[in-house]
Structure 1
Amino acid sequence: MTKTFASQGDMTEKTITFDEIGRDLWAFTAEGDPNSGVIIGDDSVMVVEAQATPRLAQKVIEKVRSVTDKPISHVVLTHYHAVRVLGASAYGAGQIIMSEAARAMVAERGQEDWDSEFQRFPRLFEGHESIPGLTWPTTTFNDRMTVYLGKRRVDITRLGRAHTAGDAVVYVPDANTMFTGDIVEDRSACYCGDGHFHDWPDTLARIRAFDLDAIAPGRGGALIGAEAVDRAITSTTDFVRSTYRPAARVALRGGSLKEAWHAVRDTCDPKFHDYAIYEHCLPFNVARAYDEARDIDTPRIWTAQRDLEMWEALQG
């Protein structure tokens, strides 16, 4: 290999922001690192996305404690990825919620995902020795469930496959605000290595149909106001389509993965080169787009070894 993954060299500490995006709704963001969300109810708090380690989760907890002393009763995990879920034990929540599909992915590929992500992006696993093991939900649902934090209603819903097959969104009706996980990003590359390119734009259209007042995206800044929401949904849709189409053209004519890599770069570099984690995601995005174009519907499991083999094929 001529060089390492871009993410392995990303050791720069990111600046954390904590923005109120609706009444008692907060977005914890960090310049393209994984975001978390906070929903304050009448008598307790729900956190959306746990961070990768208990130590990193403490940074979220510190921000929660800056605005409320109510106990954290629920943690919602929008999908199974290690950087989102392995810090869940820090919150002491009575309920850890995932979709049933996301739980199945923890069982199928959770350890492999942890090993793979730790290898390729070590900075996101600060305090990794504090992780007690895989995170398992206490509560699952198939299509939709509702949690009441006192009188405050929170709807947790699967709108379709996108970033993974088990994605969920968290909607707070009284504020018309949504926590989308990695289905929506703002000026950050989408990680598509476990994604579903054909489904993703339709899932984004279903989010758009809510006509939201605010979104806390998976990565990037808080989106407050209809204009910001629309911009991020549009740019995310463009990113997904711009990645898939050139890779698919190469795959369908029998071209190589490396040819697909160059075709995607030709389309995406001019538009997205300055997006957060763009280089980090690109090889995995191309590999998944190449597979999906060849009718591999279920994303192949990424392992630490497969990561290296894929990267060597692109660099060789």
Structure 2
Amino acid sequence: MAEHTMPDPVVHVTDIQELARDLVVIPNRQVQLVPNIGIIGGRDSVLVVETGMGSGNAEKVLEFAAGYAKGRRLFLTTTHFHPEHAFGAQTFAGEATFLINQAQAEDLKVKGPGYIDMFKGLGEPVARQLEGVTLAQPDVVYEQSYDLDLGGRVVRLRATGRAHSKGDQVVRVPDADVLFTGDLAEAGQFAIFPWFPPYDTDVSGTRWLSVMRRLAAEGAEVVVPGHGEVGGPQLLADVRDYLRLLRDETWIRRDSAVSERTIIDEVSALMIERHPDWAGRDWIEKGVGCLCSEHPA
């Protein structure tokens, strides 16, 4: 993670965005470590996408979702296991059916405890949100795909394979042409590479690029990124193009046998020149490190 104290990652249930009939987003309001949170309704049930970090945030999300559902059954899913997306799931126990893909469930079980400790090191505000967190056990686990019938509306949950994490999944609402990407796509910021060798090297820049090529080809009228403003299909193309350029520029320099430090400096300068308004510049270095490791020898 970036080496500075993060602001308090508080979910504010305000400025709710209606994307389609019976489909809203609680926006992250550009606050770091706060995800965009989806509420997708059908005749019989409502699906919540993401929890926010810790029980305090999740309680607010659950309260809103229960009020929105008006008696309909609640389901919960998360796009991947990282703390701001999934470390509030325990709050939904007994109130919602928690369903995720197998790879994400394994991430949550194996890597979740270490991520609690790592994120607590980001500063007191984050540590406070994670106080008392226990990692939830999913009620339903699927392998590659799951079609959830909410009653008159089917939501498609799809595991993408290893990319930003081993257990990424996307959530598609076909009748509204809305796609929730989690951290596979961000708006207005450089792609988040959780590259922390030797502790965590599961992110794959090459596989992530393949996933984004497929998602961009499939498209969606409305794209809800993990963080940042809701957008359209261009958001998918922008992330695809960034990852491709990051890979190409890194590998060109790797072929020339220059030092990794030089590659980081030169590629970072190029990316910032291309995207001067994007946030999260520290993630460029992590992306270069990851792609150096994936360079074909």
TM range (shorter): 0.7 to 0.9
Task: Give the counterpart letter for 1:261 in structure 2.
Answer: I
Contact 1:247 1:263 in 2 (8 A): no
Q: CA deviation at 1:198?
A: 1.4
Equivalent in 274, 277, 285 of residue 277 of structure 2? 274
**Counterpart mapping for 1:16-55 below 5 A:** 17-30=15-28, 31=30, 33-55=34-56
Q: Which has the higher helix share?
A: 1
The aligned counterpart of 2:205 is 197
The aligned counterpart of 2:223 is 215
Give the count of matched residue pairs.
285
TM-score, length-scaled by structure 2 = 0.83
Cα RMSD of the aligned pairs, angstroms, is 2.8
Q: Sequence identity of aligned pairs in percent?
A: 23
C-alpha offsets along residues 14-55 of structure 1, whole Å, 9 cap, x if unaligned? Answer: 876421111111122221532211111223321111212111
Cα pair distance change 1:288/1:189, threshold 3 Å: same
Q: Which moved more, 1:195-204 or 1:17-26?
A: 195-204
SS in 2 for 1:293: coil
The aligned counterpart of 2:293 is 291
Q: CA deviation at 1:76?
A: 0.7
Q: CA deviation at 1:145?
A: 0.9
Q: CA deviation at 1:170?
A: 1.0
Contact 1:8 1:121 in 2 (8 A): yes
SS in 1 for 2:70: coil
Q: Higher relative CO (CA 8 A, sep ≥ 6), structure 1 or 2?
A: 1
Q: Distance in 2 between matches of 1:237 and 1:99?
A: 24
Q: Which moved more, 1:207-216 or 1:181-190?
A: 207-216
Cα pair distance change 1:155/1:217, threshold 3 Å: same
C-alpha offsets along residues 283-316 of structure 1, whole Å, 9 cap, x if unaligned? Answer: 4333322222267xxxxxxxxxxxxxxxxxxxxx
Contact 2:147 2:157 in 1 (8 A): yes
Answering whether residue 5 of structure 2 is matched by residue 8 of structure 1, we say yes
Cα pair distance change 1:135/1:243, threshold 3 Å: farther
TM-score, length-scaled by structure 1 = 0.79
Q: Distance in 2 between matches of 1:13 and 1:90?
A: 16
The aligned counterpart of 1:248 is 251
Q: Distance in 1 between matches of 2:238 and 2:123?
A: 25
The aligned counterpart of 2:267 is 264
